[in-house]
Amino acid sequence: MRTRLVSYLSLSTFLLIVAFIATSAVFAAPAPAGDHLAVSGLVTNPMGKGLKEVEVEVLVNGQHVKPTGKEAEIVTGKPGGFVADFILPPGTLPAAKVRQGRG
């Protein structure tokens, strides 16, 4: 009886894991097509202290680009750091000139 219960629990656990993996694969959003660019940095004053609430602009080939996600602009946090991800048209990055500037 105990062997049957252990076998049943093992089989149930295995099936749950398989179902979870299959569901994750079905519902996982495909990565958007295009070139992916991740930009991060630290904005500091002349003494090296991080500056918060500074708007950062990213230019690719001289054109302003907006980050992916909900935020339409990039602003530094309390220690002066920022992170942004971009999805650009396919083929943009191989010969791109990327420039960061403070807005």
Is the pLDDT at 103 greater than 80, yes or no? Answer: no
- Residue type at 77? G
Q: Where are the domains of the chain?
A: 1-30, 35-102
Smallest Cα–Cα separation from 52: which of 32, 71, 74? 74
Summarize pLDDT for 3-60 with one digit per residue, the tens: 554 444 454 555 456 556 655 555 556 666 888 888 889 999 999 999 999 998 888 8
Cβ–Cβ contacts within 10 Å for residue 76, how many?
Answer: 21
- Cα angle 35, 38, 39 (rounded to 5 degrees) comes to 135
**Cut 0.75: pTM above it:** no
Whether 82 and 76 have beta carbons less than 8 Å apart is answered as yes
Strand partners, 86: 37
